[in-house]
Amino acid sequence: MPVHRLNHAVLYVSEVERSVAFYRDALGFRTVMSFPGAAFLQAPGSTNDHDLGLFEVGAGAAASGAGHGRVGLYHLAWEVDTLAELERLAGVLAQADALVGASDHGTTKSLYAKDPDGLEFEVVWIIPADLLDETARSGDPAPRPLDLAKEKARYGAQTRGGVGISVPA
């Protein structure tokens, strides 16, 4: 039985309510169920029962050591439909002082941010299959700085991303 997508992620956080507020205000997630010390959130437009589970471990919890000499998860990636939405989220994340980077990976255009506990996540727009060309597929594999204005001019601000790749054509 092959895996065909990630259904949800679960994170340990220091304060559930603070994390719920962040994911609600920054990314538009809504709470679908909660109980003391836990919350289950659904992303806008998702058909999943929930996309993110949050479990509180307390304000005294140590920061994640993943990537600093310890194994662990680097980040999760949330896909958006349009470059206009990616640009809107860049502003929201910057205003929340959560945006830590933006990269052009050729076939994907990405923002990187951190939640209140410093857990990193990516927000990504994927070039639709019918718009992929050698320029997008080739070149230096290292990420380049993201120029959203240039990408919107090239692909269109409202072009639906991921079609034929992560979204059925």
pLDDT at residue 101, as a whole number: 97
What is the share, in percent, of the chain residues with pLDDT greater than 90? 76
Q: Do domains 1-58 and 73-169 have the same CATH topology?
A: no
Averaged confidence pLDDT in the chain: 93
Distances (CA, A) of 13 to 53, 109, 112, 164: 10, 28, 19, 35
**CATH architecture label of 1-58:** Roll (3.10)
pLDDT in tens, 91-147: 999 999 999 999 999 999 999 999 999 999 999 999 999 998 877 776 667 889 999
At residue 26 the predicted structure's pLDDT band, cuts being 50, 70 and 90, is very high
Spans of all domains in the chain: 1-58, 73-169
pLDDT in tens, 39-63: 999 999 899 999 999 999 998 998 8
Closest of 94, 160, 93, 168 to residue 127, by C-alpha: 160
Distance CA 61, CA 58 (A): 6
At residue 29 the predicted structure's pLDDT band, cuts being 50, 70 and 90, is very high
At residue 166 the predicted structure's pLDDT band, cuts being 50, 70 and 90, is confident
Class of domain 73-169: alpha beta
0.85 cut: is pTM over it?
yes
Compute the Cα dihedral for 70, 74, 64, 103 and give only its sign.
positive
| DSSP letter string, 98-132 | -EEEEEE-SSEEEEEEE-TT--EEEEEEE--GGG-
- pLDDT at residue 28 tops 80: yes
pLDDT at residue 139, as a whole number: 61
The token pair at 110 is 């990405």
